[in-house]
């Protein structure tokens, strides 16, 4: 991040997940982030939903503690702020499972956590309970919001926090029906990310798992980075990972340009007035 936080460099990571083998998945994520940090020195990195890739036969997620340790160690070693995707965990107070994203600073210290509010079908069947609260967190002076996967389908949930954020981070694990084409999922999610970015004038970062034949869940590889203020440079407005492959996308978001574009939209009557 440069002086006075005029820009923030964000990377979204799309790993080739090895399902039910979190250690192998962690190795892949570690190698990917090492290369990204050496080449791009991002300020903020985003892992996907269920980045620990681990559910047992009864549907219980495993290794919450190990996944947290891994994420905190990543942030410390590579000195990067990290949205640690999401991990399902047991909530003793609720006596139920919750889907939780962690926001970590460069020293691996927790800045905040968010529980998914809009549950997908398999989560409902497994009695995961939805969260109730939104999250806006200050990441070195940049206002970041966090949603998880299906939350992005609900524009009213984005609008709840849109006036308070510059960047929206959305760890996802897309789930595709066997007969569906992953390209359709990418078209849908890329369009949705662009729509949320444009209607709220915020940068939107989405992470996902790569398309892979070895996963029990077919994912679409929908990761993207969208900056509505980058027009008229259309390729810079949305960076994606071609064919849903394993990899990453990186973008530098000009926060001052984004703020000017937001002011223009508000004066034009295309954003709600500030309260």
Domains in the chain, CATH or no CATH each: 3-267 (3.60.110.10)
- Cβ atoms of 242 and 267 within 8 Å: the answer is no
Q: Which of 63-77, 141-155, 166-180 has the highest mean pLDDT?
A: 141-155
The whole-model pTM stands at 0.94
Could you read off the pLDDT of 108-137 as tens digits, one per residue? 999 999 999 988 877 777 778 899 999 999
pLDDT band at 215 (very low <50, low <70, confident <90, very high): low
pLDDT band at 3 (very low <50, low <70, confident <90, very high): very low
Q: Which of 4-8, 9-13, 146-150, 171-175 has the lowest mean pLDDT?
A: 4-8
Burial-class residue 165 by CB neighbours within 10 Å (0-12, 13-18, 19+). buried
Top-confidence residue, 109 or 61 = 109
Q: What is the pLDDT of residue 233?
A: 87
Here the tokens at position 201 are 């004038």
CB proximity list for 174: less than 8 A, separation 6 or greater? 149, 185, 189, 208, 209, 219, 220, 221, 222
Top-confidence residue, 194 or 235 = 194
Q: Between β-strands 247-254 and 136-139, what pairing exists: parallel, antiparallel or unpaired?
A: unpaired
């Amino acid at each position: 991040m440069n002086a006075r936080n005029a820009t923030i460099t964000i990377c979204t990571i799309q790993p080739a997940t090895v399902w039910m083998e979190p250690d192998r998945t962690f190795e892949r994520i570690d190698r990917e982030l090492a290369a990204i940090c050496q080449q791009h020195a991002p300020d903020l990195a985003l892992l996907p939903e269920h980045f620990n890739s681990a559910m047992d036969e009864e549907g219980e997620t495993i290794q919450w503690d190990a996944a947290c340790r891994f994420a905190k160690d990543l942030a410390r070693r590579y000195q990067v702020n990290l949205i640690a995707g999401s991990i399902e965990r047991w909530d003793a107070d609720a006596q139920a499972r919750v889907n939780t994203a962690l926001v970590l600073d460069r020293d691996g210290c927790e800045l905040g956590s968010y529980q998914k509010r809009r549950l997908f079908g398999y989560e409902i069947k497994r009695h995961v309970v939805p969260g109730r609260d939104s999250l806006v967190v200050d990441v070195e002076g940049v206002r970041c919001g966090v949603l998880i996967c299906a939350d992005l389908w609900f524009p009213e949930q984005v609008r709840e926090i849109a006036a308070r954020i510059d960047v929206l981070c959305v760890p996802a694990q897309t789930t595709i029906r066997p007969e569906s084409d992953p390209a359709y999922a990418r078209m849908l999610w890329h369009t949705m990310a662009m729509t949320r970015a444009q209607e709220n004038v915020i940068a939107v970062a989405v992470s996902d798992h790569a398309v892979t034949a070895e996963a029990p869940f077919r994912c679409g590889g929908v990761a993207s980075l969208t900056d509505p203020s980058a027009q008229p440079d259309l390729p810079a407005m949305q960076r994606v990972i071609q064919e849903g492959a394993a990899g990453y996308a990186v973008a530098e978001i000009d926060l001052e340009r984004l703020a000017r574009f937001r002011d223009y939209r508000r004066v034009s009557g295309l954003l709600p007035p500030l309260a």
